[in-house]
Amino acid sequence: MKQLRDRLWAATALAALLSASPALAAQLPLTSGPQDPSQLQASLNNLILTINNSLGLYAPQVGAGINGSDTTTDTLQTIIVPANFFTANGQTLHLLASGINAGAAANKTVGLTFGTITISATSASAVAWKASLDIVNLGSAGTSQVYSGVIDFSGVTPTVFQGTATIATATAQTSTVTGRTDTAASGVVQANYFIGEIVK
């Protein structure tokens, strides 16, 4: 029993550290009244679930993903966001990708998708780029969202996007980084990393 209490106190201290920073986790609810020793295991498990569900990093993709020898839109990197990730109003999914374009004399298009949402921008320059997309849940059903996104080629005015969506987040959703060129040469559009982060 003492070991279980020690684990509960340690987890509580960790939760306090996490909840102290809004960037790391949502505020954890407080409990009241004496703790029934027979409920320590259940309380510890509930606390662990609260911590685990406060913030998640989904399958970060690190390493070069490049376009193929074609002029079609190619998938450079992919993240699968599991089902039921939106359950409360204001929960936010943040997607971020970065890469670099090679010096081929052609237009280079970078895109970022999530479910039915697609944003893309084009530049002829051989420069680094960054693409981000924030999807914010409206209500508790997980079927209505607003979003905003930016695609930024170094040295070029960023392209900004915003809109609404009705993505059914009760099912898993696919998010991709895409690349396309006007010349059939591989490796012209390169994604170096792609991460998805849920903030609850």
**If pLDDT is split at 50, 70 and 90, which confidence band does 17 have?**
very low
Which CATH number is 56-199's, of 1.10.3470, 2.60.40, 3.30.40, 2.60.120? Answer: 2.60.120
Res 115: pLDDT: 95
Q: Give percent of the chain above pLDDT 70.
A: 76
Statement: residue 24 has pLDDT above 50: no
Res 3: pLDDT: 57
- In this prediction the pTM is 0.74
Decide the pairing of beta strands 159-165 and 173-181.
Answer: unpaired
**If pLDDT is split at 50, 70 and 90, which confidence band does 196 have?**
very high
Top-confidence residue, 8 or 29: 29
Give the list of residues 6+ apart from residue 119 with CB closer than 8 angstroms, or none: 111, 112, 113, 131, 133, 149, 151, 159, 161
Res 1: pLDDT: 53
33-57 pLDDT, tens digit each: 666 777 778 777 776 766 655 556 6
CA separation, residue 10 to residues 14, 16, 25 (Å): 6, 10, 17
Extents of the domains making up the chain: 2-26+36-52, 56-199
99-137 pLDDT, tens digit each: 999 988 899 999 999 999 999 999 999 999 999 999 999
C-alpha to C-alpha distance for 134 and 147, rounded to whole angstroms = 5
Closest residue by Cα to residue 27 from 88, 94, 96: 88
Res 42: pLDDT: 78
In Å, how far from its chain's centre is CA 194?
9
Res 29: pLDDT: 61
Q: At what angle do helices 2-19 and 40-52 cross, to 10 degrees?
A: 30
